[in-house]
């Protein structure tokens, strides 16, 4: 079997992210498709945390993927592929936000918030689910999403990355370019602001907030692949 046939026969989902990036750098579109499918939900959630608009967040992620594919050669593995892609998404989302309206002064919210040692313990998806909460799952998820949308932007992005996506403090700090202590403080503030609306009974809804699976995930992946194919065809015509 030739090297090309071997790569085409590869089970992409069995490869690590770094291996997928390496193969994508060598022109393997299937590897990049797999990487997108792994990162779609996180990148969508992060973009939406900044923009608070599903359609615009989706467009931002598509633009970010297109940019990332065009600059794959610049990826040196100094951070994980998901962190690298998240930074690209944040740059694009924040750029759009600046063009839309002035940035929120997060320092104002941090300075005005009173110290409170009581940090709510947002439960993990592995916690037991109350039958009543399960029956009202859709309504509670909507409540949760609206409550998160109402957070100040800096708190909102940290909350999404830490409590919804489950990123570590270190990864969140590196991705956002802020100190670990700032990550902890903003998460603390975000939880305090949500305390009046949310309760521990929302345990099972965190992992389902802002879903980005199924048809939407597939549609966006195919849109990016079509863009890349069109770009390749255009480049070929110019040769």
166 Rama class: left (phi>0) / alpha (psi -120 to 50) / beta: left
* pLDDT over 50 at 109, yes or no: no
Q: Which tens digit of pLDDT belongs to each residue from 178-187?
A: 999 999 999 9
Per the prediction, the chain carries an average pLDDT of: 79
Highest mean pLDDT among 99-113, 128-142, 162-176, 208-222: 162-176
Q: DSSP letter for 79, please.
A: S
Residue 204, exposed/middle/buried by CB under 10 A (0-12, 13-18, 19+)?
A: buried
pTM over 0.95? The answer is no
Residue 157 in tokens? 């992005």
Give me the torsion for CA of 210, 216, 221, 224, rounded to 10°: -90
- CA nearest 83: which of 161, 15, 20, 174? 174
Is residue 159 predicted with pLDDT exceeding 90? yes
pLDDT for 38 beyond 60? yes
pLDDT at res. 204: 52
Burial environment of residue 8 by CB neighbours within 10 A (0 to 12, 13 to 18, 19 or more): exposed
* pLDDT higher than threshold 80 for residue 130: no
Select, from the ranges 109-123, 174-188, 205-219, the one with the highest average predicted confidence (pLDDT): 174-188
The pLDDT score that the predictor gives to residue 5 is: 42
**Does 103 score more than 60 pLDDT?**
no
**Which pLDDT score, from 0 to 100, does residue 147 have?**
85
Domains of the chain (ranges, CATH numbers): 3-101+213-238 (1.10.1740.10), 106-208 (1.10.10.10)
> What's the Rg (C-alpha) of the chain?
20
DSSP summary character for residue 179? -
Which backbone phi and psi does 11 adopt, to 5 degrees? -85, 100
Pick 231 or 50 by higher pLDDT.
Answer: 50
- Split at pLDDT 50, 70, 90, the class of 37 is very high
The whole-number pLDDT of residue 213 equals 67
CA distance 208 to 231: 35
* Whole-angstrom distance, CA of residue 212 vs CA of residue 44: 7
Instruction: Look at residues 140, 141, 157, 122 and name the one whose alpha carbon lies nearest to residue 52.
Output: 157
Count of CA atoms in the C-beta half-sphere (13 A) of 74: 8
How confident is the model over 59-83, as a mean pLDDT?
A: 92
Mean pLDDT calculated for residue range 5-15: 68
> Please, are residues 164 and 205 in contact by the beta-carbon 8 Å criterion?
no
Residue 8 has pLDDT above 60, yes or no: no
d(CA 24, CA 11): 14
Q: How far apart are CA 67 and CA 137, in angstroms?
A: 37
Spatial separation of the C-alpha atoms in residues 155 and 186, rounded to whole Å: 5
For residue 77, which of 120, 25, 34 has the smallest C-alpha distance? 25
Task: Tell me the C-alpha distance between 160 and 172, whole Å.
Answer: 10
At 158, list the tokens. 């940290």
């Amino acid at each position: 079997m030739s090297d090309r046939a071997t790569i085409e026969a590869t089970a992409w989902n069995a490869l690590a992210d770094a291996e997928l990036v390496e193969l994508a750098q060598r022109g393997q579109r299937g590897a990049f498709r797999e990487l997108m499918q792994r990162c779609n939900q996180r990148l969508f959630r992060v973009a939406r945390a900044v923009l608070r608009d599903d359609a615009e967040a989706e467009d931002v992620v598509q633009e970010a993927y297109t940019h990332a594919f065009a600059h794959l050669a610049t990826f040196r593995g100094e951070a994980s592929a998901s962190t690298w892609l998240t930074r690209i998404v944040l740059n694009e989302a924040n750029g759009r936000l600046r063009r839309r309206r002035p940035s929120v002064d997060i320092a104002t919210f941090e300075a005005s918030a009173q110290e409170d040692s009581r940090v709510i313990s947002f439960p993990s998806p592995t916690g037991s689910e109350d039958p009543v909460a399960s029956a009202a799952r859709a309504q509670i998820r909507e409540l949760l999403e609206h409550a998160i949308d109402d957070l100040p932007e800096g708190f909102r992005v940290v909350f999404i990355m830490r409590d919804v996506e489950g990123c570590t403090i270190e990864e969140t700090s590196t991705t956002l370019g802020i100190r670990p202590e700032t990550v902890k403080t903003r998460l603390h503030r975000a939880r305090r602001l949500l305390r009046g609306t949310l309760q521990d009974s929302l345990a099972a809804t965190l992992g389902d907030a802002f879903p980005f699976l199924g048809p939407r995930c597939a549609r966006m992946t195919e849109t990016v692949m079509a863009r890349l194919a069109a770009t390749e065809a255009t480049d070929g015509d110019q040769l």
